[in-house]
């Protein structure tokens, strides 16, 4: 079992920055890829960024150059640094951890970009 707990969401003005954190606990050796997904009202959940155990990253085109995903394997924490935020980035952001058995999800954290 893996437990994930996100934090760091909130209200920010367009052009601002936020950093999301995801603390992982449980059977951590089973985790391979970790990532961030988001779901806006009325839309399907979509991939934002992923990072493998060796640090290889992948980003959605809509966030390339603005968002940075990273993981601290000592602190067992996943991060998402979000810069130059736009209103269309408004969504609930979910942390994800993949294992060979199943994916795990956090409870989500709300990010609202508005003036």
Pairwise CA distance, residues 54 & 18, whole Å = 25
Report the C-alpha dihedral over residues 26, 97, 58, 69, rounded to 10 degrees: -50
Compute the average pLDDT of residues 15-26. Answer: 96
Pairwise CA distance, residues 85 & 115, whole Å = 11
Q: Is the pLDDT of residue 31 over 90?
A: no
State the distance between the two ends of the chain, measured CA to CA, in whole angstroms.
40
Q: Is the pLDDT of residue 15 over 90?
A: yes
Tens digit of pLDDT for each residue in 56-100?
A: 999 999 999 999 999 998 999 999 999 999 999 999 999 999 998
Tens digit of pLDDT for each residue in 33-48?
A: 999 999 999 999 999 9
């Amino acid at each position: 079992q893996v437990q994930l707990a996100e934090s760091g969401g909130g209200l920010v003005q367009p052009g601002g920055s936020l950093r999301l954190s995801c603390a992982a606990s449980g059977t951590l050796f089973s985790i391979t890829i970790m990532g961030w997904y988001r779901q806006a009202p009325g839309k399907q959940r979509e991939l934002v960024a992923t990072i493998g155990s060796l640090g290889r990253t992948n980003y959605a085109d809509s966030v390339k150059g603005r968002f940075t995903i990273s993981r601290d394997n000592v602190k067992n924490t996943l991060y998402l640094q979000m810069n130059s935020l736009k209103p269309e980035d408004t969504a609930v952001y979910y942390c994800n951890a993949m294992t060979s058995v199943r994916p795990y999800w956090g409870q989500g954290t709300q990010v609202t970009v508005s003036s």
